[in-house]
């Protein structure tokens, strides 16, 4: 019996660099309208993964944790934006305040990567790429990537090929 849903897969990362490289591959597959949801405790590597995603997506800017500002925006040459949101300080499951994050505008214009997405689950689109991150030891993290919807199944198929071949 498969433990993971179809097209879901797991990655064991042995270093921050490896986590960033997974992010780079993923970021290069994202298109305007995509949403990536990150779930995992403090230190599980969410922001480290986002550094890779942003780089692979094409922004030259250095990603820092948006914990205090809630949303950071990263533009890429050519014109669209990666919105990096950290829901840690948002009221869990309140409707997303459009002053903080106007989802329609964000997804019309760019991609959204959300840390602590489990806190915002009721406000987020049902179709998304969900990534669960867990701390294993100081150097190692476990990632489970789960597609919700065909768009994300297709992203994960390509990502799996890019990471593992075949
Ligand atoms: N395999 C790994 N993947 C990601 N981060 C790792 C890994 N090993 C060690 N780390 C370290 O763990 C910390 C993760 O922090 P961060 O990415 O900010 O996590 P979060 O955003 O989930 O709180 C960083 O200091 C990073 O260097
Ligand atoms: Mg973080």
139-156 pLDDT tens trace: 999 999 999 999 999 999
| Ligand 1 within 6 A of CB of 13 | yes
Cα 80 to averaged position of ligand 2 atoms, centre (Å): 23
Interval 110-127: pLDDT, tens: 999 999 999 988 889 999
* CATH class entry, domain 14-138+153-164: alpha beta
pLDDT value at position 10? 96
Which run of H or E residues covers position 84? strand 81-86
The stretch 10-39 carries a mean pLDDT of 98
| Ligand 1 within 6 A of CB of 56 | no
Instruction: Please list all protein residues whose beta carbon sits less than 5 angstroms from ligand 2, which is an ion.
Output: 46-47, 65
Nearest atom in ligand 1 to the alpha carbon of residue 18 is: 1
Question: Which of 44, 18, 32 is CA-nearest to residue 117?
Answer: 44
pLDDT value at position 96? 75
Interval 69-86: pLDDT, tens: 789 999 999 889 999 999
Cα 8 to averaged position of ligand 1 atoms, centre (Å): 22
Answer yes or no: is pLDDT of 108 > 90: yes
Answer yes or no: is pLDDT of 5 > 70: yes
Show me where the domains of the chain are located: 14-138+153-164
Answer yes or no: is pLDDT of 133 > 70: yes
| Ligand 1 within 6 A of CB of 23 | no
Buried b (16+ CB within 10 A) or exposed e, 126-162: eebbbbbbeeeeeeebbbbbbbbeebbbebbeebbee
pLDDT value at position 94? 75
Asked if 101 contacts 72 with a C-beta cutoff of 8 angstroms, the reply is no
SS3 content of the chain, % helix, strand, coil (to 5): 35, 30, 40
| Ligand 1 within 6 A of CB of 43 | yes
């Amino acid at each position: 019996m498969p433990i993971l849903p179809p097209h879901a897969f797991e990655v064991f990362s042995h270093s921050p660099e490896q986590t960033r490289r997974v992010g780079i591959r993923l970021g290069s597959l994202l298109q305007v309208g995509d949403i990536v949801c990150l779930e995992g405790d403090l230190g599980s590597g969410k922001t480290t993964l986002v550094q890779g995603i942003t780089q692979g997506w094409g922004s030259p800017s250095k990603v820092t944790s948006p914990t205090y500002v809630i949303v950071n925006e990263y533009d890429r040459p050519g014109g669209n934006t990666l919105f990096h949101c950290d829901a840690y300080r948002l009221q869990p499951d309140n409707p997303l305040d459009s002053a903080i994050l106007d989802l329609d505008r964000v997804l019309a214009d760019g991609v959204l990567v959300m840390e602590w997405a489990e806190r915002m689950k009721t406000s987020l689109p049902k179709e998304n790429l969900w990534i669960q991150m867990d701390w294993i030891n100081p150097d190692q993290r476990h990632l489970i990537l789960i597609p919700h919807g065909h768009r994300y199944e297709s992203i994960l198929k390509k990502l799996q090929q890019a990471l593992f071949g075949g």
